[in-house]
Amino acid sequence: MSNESSVAADQGSPSPSLNRTTNSNHGVSKDTRRRVVTASFIGNFVEWFDYAVYGYLAGIISTVFFPESDRQTALLATFGVFAVSFFVRPLGGFIWGHIGDKLGRKQALSLSIVLMSVATFCIALIPGYATIGVMAPILLLLVRVVQGFSAAGEYAGASAFLVEYAPANRRGLYAAVVPASTAAGLLLGSLLAALLSSAMTPEQLSEWGWRLPFLLAAPMGLIGRYIRTKLEDTPAFRELAAKDNAVKAPAFAMFRTYRKQLIIATGAVLLNAVGFYVILSYMPTYLSEELGFGATESFLATTIALASYIGFIFLTGMASDKFGRKRMLITASVLFVLLTVPAFMLLDTGNFLVIVLVQILLGGMLTLNDGTLPSFLAELFPTKVRYTGFAVSFNLSNALFGGTAPFMATLLIGMTHNQLAPGWYLVAAALVSLIAVLFAAESSKKPLLQD
């Protein structure tokens, strides 16, 4: 297939050379699909549980690993480490994408969960600044870089795995398991952070309590790996491998033939990248550090919002199967452009109930994007470069704008002295995503592209 015809076919234009997957997964048993869902859920859950704990305990972690002479500087440094770990994710996207498209989705996912679990466990073992000085933040940074690299293959791989196993008319619902597991990881992280904050004194939490959640990563990761090794690879990949059509260099094939899809995907991810980390990770810090709420109240408000997010995300996945990916993504972007800044204004009312309702609103708006995005990105690329295209676009946008979102929010507030700055940042991200999605074709009613 020529470059031009491939791009045209992938964008929904009629093409006689279009090659799409057969319904090779129609004979997959319900038990197999349940195990696929469980395996995808657990791996992504472990990854985002760690990110949640790190984000929710950022204020405490900043005092452990950095000098306390300037609290805002220490907090910025903590979020800076959080952001730097994301810069390796595009590289991880290329490598995990290569493994996933060349050797199989199962192989990539089984390896990535081991790296992630070990790195997360190691955070609990690093001594603080008071004990080893500057080596403390250096070791923290190194471990976060390993986490960033391993995480680069998880979201994309789990999404591709689910979409390629799902019934053709339920790909949106199945793929919604990935953001649901993300939110579940955040939810457990939030619950543990709230429990530790209320049950321990500040001294106990700072000395050793904050380490406890990171110790849980090892057993959870081992369980996830065990489940994944018991599964076959996806029907779509097995069909590709049987025809000996797997490409030797998926990244080169992607850049040579699917550049337009890559640009669209990277732009479409931007709202997810910024919105996810601002609304579901940075928000407790924003409420406590910028608006003066207690840590326990801040955690509780975010926990309630996360619980509602998980429920909404499956409804969004089903809605995207019925109404289409493009319509859902456009709706999400428009709502963020119109409602984000007013919502941030309401956060400053000082009323706990209002704060909870605003966070539920923002989380519900985000699900319109997040519940649709995994299936949208997976359907945008053909099987032979699906993992690579998804992983590179998703991680590039997250590296530049997602991992830096807490840092940028804190920095923008400091520079402008305006507590609404994170809201305006979200509006800008929504505008970029809106423009990108407008150039995409609807894919929900079509078979998956094969090559």
60: pLDDT strictly greater than 50? yes
279: pLDDT strictly greater than 80? yes
pLDDT, one tens digit per residue, over 258-273 is 999 999 999 999 999 9
421/253 Cα distance (integer angstroms): 40
User: For the domain with range 29-228+247-438, which CATH number is right: 2.60.40.1180, 3.30.160.270, 1.20.1250.20, 3.90.1150.10?
Assistant: 1.20.1250.20
pLDDT, one tens digit per residue, over 194-248 is 788 788 887 888 788 888 888 887 788 888 888 888 888 888 888 888 887 677 8
pLDDT at site 25: 55
Question: By mean pLDDT, which of 47-56, 130-139, 420-429, 435-444 is the weakest?
Answer: 47-56
Q: How confident is the model at residue 22 (pLDDT cuts 50, 70, 90)?
A: very low
Q: What is the mean pLDDT of residues 430-438?
A: 96
pLDDT at site 72: 65
Q: Of 77-81, 89-93, 122-126, 323-327, give the range with the top mean pLDDT.
A: 323-327
Measured CA angle at 86 (ends 50, 394), to 5 deg: 100
**Strands in 244-377 per DSSP E:** none
HEC per residue, the chain: CCHHHHHHHHCCCCCCCCCECCCCCCCCCHHHHHHHHHHHHHHHHHHHHHHHHHHHCHHHHHHHHCCCCCHHHHHHHHHHHHHHHHHCHHHHHHHHHHHHHHCCHHHHHHHHHHHHHHHHHHHCCCCCHHHHCCHHHHHHHHHHHHHHHHHCCHHHHHHHHHHHHCCHHHHHHHHCHHHHHHHHHHHHHHHHHHHHHHHCCHHHHHHCHHHHHHHCHHHHHHHHHHHHHCCCCCHHHHHHHHCCCCCCCHHHHHHHHCHHHHHHHHHHHHHHHHHHHHHHHHHHHHHHHHCCCCHHHHHHHHHHHHHHHHHHHHHHHHHHHHHCHHHHHHHHHHHHHHHHHHHHHHHCCCCHHHHHHHHHHHHHHHHHHHCCHHHHHHHHCCHHHHHHHHHHHHHHHHHHHHCCHHHHHHHHHHHHCCCCHHHHHHHHHHHHHHHHHHCCCCCCCCCCECC
Q: What is the mean pLDDT of residues 114-118?
A: 86
> Higher model confidence: residue 327 or residue 243?
327
Within 10 A of 230 (CB to CB), how many other CB atoms are there?
10
The residues near 176 (Cβ < 8 Å, ≥ 6 apart) are: 313, 314, 316, 317, 318, 371, 374, 375
284/191 Cα distance (integer angstroms): 12
CA dihedral 87, 91, 92, 93 (to 10 degrees): 100
pLDDT at site 8: 38
Average pLDDT taken over every residue of the chain: 84
Q: What is the mean pLDDT of residues 63-91?
A: 74
